[in-house]
Structure 1
């Protein structure tokens, strides 16, 4: 039986729960703010608290794989449980691993995160296309087969990204714009939303020179600690704002470990984002 595509599931989750993604980013300083040790026990307490507080109400949770991998196999085991528990509670999980390679290696990364029988199976995976968009084909194919999706780094919020993403090719098209065009092709004919999205920073200002209407979602980091606000979204994304999935990390996570405070913070951001999208 063909699984329901990620894009359709994401559109429904955004419509029902609001367009908010909350990161699960257990870096050492945040564990310390919560009064937790920087060890596997602290990692598990942090992750379980976020999942229990938010997974039944936000559309998307986005664990950052690196903060789990740094603890070795025990950290990866916590990541497996975090993904499974978040999905069981109704949240879609975007694994933020930014994988990018070629051939059989890319296929192995895809199998690790996008095959429905894999311990780390996630609803979507962040990937890097900067070995050439075609290098992502194993991940694209695996995602299609398993009802999963991808978020491709296109126009990221980090200042260093511009030297690659804003570079101009021989045909006059920018590299980031080229990635958006590839994604539009992947999503052609998919309704209500394609499963292949782009990562586009909410801190980048006016992006009207880019064709952001790719027929799929736009994962937008930068809300909160990086300085962007929900009110900025229409000005940045224009007509594509309804397909934006704003990511908030530290601005919500710093409200823990109190689960009520975490829920209130996520609800407040979800409401502000929904209002900005409607106004836009």
Structure 2
């Protein structure tokens, strides 16, 4: 299936497409995505060494504590990649164990390229033949949304998903995302509209989601027609709270997957403390997103 720009696909989506699987996970486990981000500060706070041994202990503790109860776990690939092949081996185990326990795995890799290179990224993160395959990945559309076609096609073929960067909360983002294209839309709105086209024909959500920071405020962008899930980082340690989801997403908030990392991870290293922190966060978000 090629990237759809507006017309419904001629092929009926599988009942197990990514959007449907995500909706079931959220209904069963609550609206929460927890990052697995073993950055040096958290390793220190947990009393772990700043090496692959510490990273493995950190990541496996998070998986053991949360993979059987949260909807989505989101390992940040960079914190594993920095340790080379041994770090990647840990990431492979994290993906395998988290999925075996029932969590969906969103690989936070933010890849974006063209041609055979993006096809290779698709094979690495979205094809079950790869040990790095999760349930979805993050991607950058700023080489042109059409450049992501191999990612989206591979995701759909395997019942997986892609979350593309839309309105990010970093201060440098608006310089590109709010720039106005020739047709009068902002660059971010062209991304949102392209995502909407790729999601035509899917219920309750399509396989292509958008990353929209919970800290961006009211940007004037139309989020109502995207047809896919929103990943909302920036909550907790980055300053946004549950109430900001109403302001940013409005009526589209029912499609939001709130993403937290330090807000939950700093409760460790005890597994019971991690579970309690995740449960509190899910309850807070559930009340706002209903």
TM-score, normalising length: structure 2: 0.94
Please give the alpha-carbon distance, in whole angstroms, between the structure 2 residues aligned to 1:71 and 1:61. 21
Stretches of 4+ moved more than 3 A in 1? none
Q: Deviations over 1:235-269 (max 9, x none)?
A: 21011101000100111101100111100000000
Q: CA RMSD in A?
A: 1.0
Residue 172 of structure 1, aligned match among 184, 203, 224: 184
Q: Deviations over 1:108-142 (max 9, x none)?
A: 00000000111001100000011111110110110
Most deviating of 210-219 and 11-20: 210-219
2:28 aligned with 1:38, yes or no? Answer: no
Residue 75 of structure 2, aligned match among 58, 63, 66: 63
Would the aligned equivalents of 2:189 and 2:221 in 1 still touch at CA under 8 Å?
no
- Structure 1 partner of 2:147: 135
Residue 240 of structure 1, aligned match among 252, 272, 282: 252
- Structure 2 partner of 1:82: 94
- Structure 2 partner of 1:122: 134
Please give the alpha-carbon distance, in whole angstroms, between the structure 2 residues aligned to 1:114 and 1:101. 15
Please give the alpha-carbon distance, in whole angstroms, between the structure 2 residues aligned to 1:186 and 1:145. 14
SS state at 2:233 partner: strand
- Structure 1 partner of 2:277: 265
| Structure 2: runs of 5+ lacking an equivalent | 1-13
SS state at 2:162 partner: strand
- Structure 2 partner of 1:152: 164
| Structure 1: runs of 5+ lacking an equivalent | none
Would the aligned equivalents of 1:180 and 1:212 in 2 still touch at CA under 8 Å?
no
Kindly tell me the number of residue pairs found equivalent between the two proteins: 277
Would the aligned equivalents of 2:71 and 2:103 in 1 still touch at CA under 8 Å?
yes
Please give the alpha-carbon distance, in whole angstroms, between the structure 1 residues aligned to 2:164 and 2:172. 17
2:204 aligned with 1:192, yes or no? Answer: yes
Most deviating of 237-246 and 3-12: 3-12
Please give the alpha-carbon distance, in whole angstroms, between the structure 2 residues aligned to 1:250 and 1:189. 36
**Structure 1 residue 208: deviation in Å?**
4.7
Please give the alpha-carbon distance, in whole angstroms, between the structure 2 residues aligned to 1:148 and 1:11. 13
